[in-house]
Amino acid sequence: MTRTSPIQLIASQVAASQVAAPVQAAGHDGAPAGAAPAAADASADCGAPMSPIPDPPASPLGRGLAAALAKVAKATGLADPVEMVHDARKAMKEYRALLKLLKSPEAKSARAAAAGVARTLAGSRDRAAALESLDALASAGVLGEADAAAAAAALGGAPEEGAEAETHRSALRAFLADARLRLDYGLAGQAAAADLAAGIRRTYRRARRAEWVTPEAMHETRKSVVSHRYQMSFLAAFADTPAAGERAREVQKLRDLFGAYQDIATLRPMLEHAAPALDGGLGVRLDAAMERRQDDLKAAAKILHAGLFERRPRAFLRDFGLKLRPEGERRKRAMAKARRPKIVRACKGCKRR
């Protein structure tokens, strides 16, 4: 009889879904006809020559960015507001993770624009995540089902549909129009010249330097892990690196552990706000359940992280056949030399140094 390890047990409780199959790039799927040349139409009204319509991105990174935006467009068309927000935020995380492979002011600005829209969606998603977290506490056996139901009732039940959903839909459509213009008229060219190995190494290094002391520090580590996971999926789907797909699936398990931990961190202040609706005994039981579950999740995440990020960045690149460009190697050596402490030797026969 085979024994299930604690990590596998906790991961199976957290991750019910598998990594989705790579999306095939198809230009700007879901884009309304004539969306890209809107600025050109405006210039035509003024008698200026129209800008040429750009070709779809041809580079692997350009196609990956276009595919991520296509996922946002697909999410925007979902009727269920909770699913729309959830799927759109996932796709925007993928888009931002791929933008991190570019080191340019334009890519940084595009990431900031996407992050701003994602923050406007966070409120409704946090509410849904809090309710899901109560169910997860009950499923893990650390909280009774009756207590979970009472806490959910105190939080006010499921998020309401209505005007908020349409506001989110409009924000996503505006984001898509802006992001496609950014891609067509700037980022696609930069993607074709990007040093993918250098970008992947940067993200891997950040994810490897995990911090576990506070929930805020773990959240920052989680963001780097999420970016690394999406970059591995990109390599598998668009850069002819099949082994990266298995790596993405393993990192997704770590992401799920971090996500479950963060959902409880989101739930905690909501329960504190709803404290008047909770009897004293229920509040104590909720605190104990959340603390116990977070301890279990953190312990499992530490062990899984240590195995996934054991390799040094250079060795990790070799594992996937990635090589830094010559200029990247020179820059790396120069930075290492600059960090090396200078040794000052004393002169013979005197005290001067």
State the DSSP string of 174-225: HHHHHHHHHIIIIIHHHHHT--HHHHHHHHHHHHHS---SSHHHHHHHHHHH
pLDDT above 60 (res 344): no
What pLDDT, on the 0 to 100 scale, is given for residue 40?
Answer: 38
Long-range contacts of 324-333 (CB under 8 A, 24+ apart): 324/195, 324/197, 324/198, 324/201, 325/195, 325/197, 325/198, 328/195, 328/197, 328/198
What pLDDT, on the 0 to 100 scale, is given for residue 327?
Answer: 56
pLDDT digits (tens, 9 = 90+) for 187-244: 999 999 999 999 999 999 999 999 999 999 999 999 999 999 999 999 999 988 889 9
First to last CA, the chain: 70
CATH (one of 2.60.40, 1.10.10, 2.40.50, 1.40.20) for 11-339: 1.40.20
Specify whether the CB–CB gap between 138 and 144 falls below 8 A: yes
pLDDT digits (tens, 9 = 90+) for 96-146: 999 999 999 999 999 999 999 999 988 777 888 888 999 999 999 999 999
Give me the DSSP letters along 126-172. HHHHHHHHHHHHHHTTSS-HHHHHHHHHHHTSSPPPSHHHHHHHHHH
Q: How far apart are CA 74 and CA 260, in angstroms?
A: 26
pLDDT digits (tens, 9 = 90+) for 7-55: 555 555 555 434 333 333 344 444 443 344 444 343 344 444 445 666 7
pTM of the predicted model as reported, rounded to 2 decimal places: 0.78
Specify whether the CB–CB gap between 159 and 125 falls below 8 A: no
